[in-house]
Amino acid sequence: MPKFSKTINIHKVGSKKFVKKGFHLGAEYRREVVENFQVGAGLDFRLSSLKEPADEIEDGEKATYDYDNLISIPLYVTSRYNFKNSTEITPSIKLNLEYVINIIEIK
């Protein structure tokens, strides 16, 4: 498990969500370069509040962290192929390649 701060007072984490509070805002632009194939780029901003972590240790104790917020800024390129069909629903395959900048706000 990667260590993001001085201490993370947990050893084993349950299957619950990592973050209770936060928001995500993003934008993506794609352009069709050949029929049914699009390429583009995107940018996201994610703020996760770690003041009240949602992770629990198996015996029910709450995990504690030495930092307040985790800010993630993913930058990515994307491509999408739309399959031809005769229905209103268009199946597609999408591929993103991203680089993420993480900023941790320490108490």
Query: Which secondary-structure segment (H or E) carries 4?
Result: none
The pLDDT value given to residue 48? 80
Distances (CA, A) of 97 to 32, 34, 42: 18, 20, 10
| Whole-angstrom distance, CA of residue 86 vs CA of residue 40 | 26
Extents of the domains making up the chain: 21-106
Predicted confidence (pLDDT) per residue in 21-54, tens digit: 788 899 999 999 999 999 999 999 988 876 655 5
Cβ atoms within 10 Å, residue 53: 21
Predicted confidence (pLDDT) per residue in 1-18, tens digit: 444 443 444 334 444 455
| Whole-angstrom distance, CA of residue 89 vs CA of residue 62 | 44
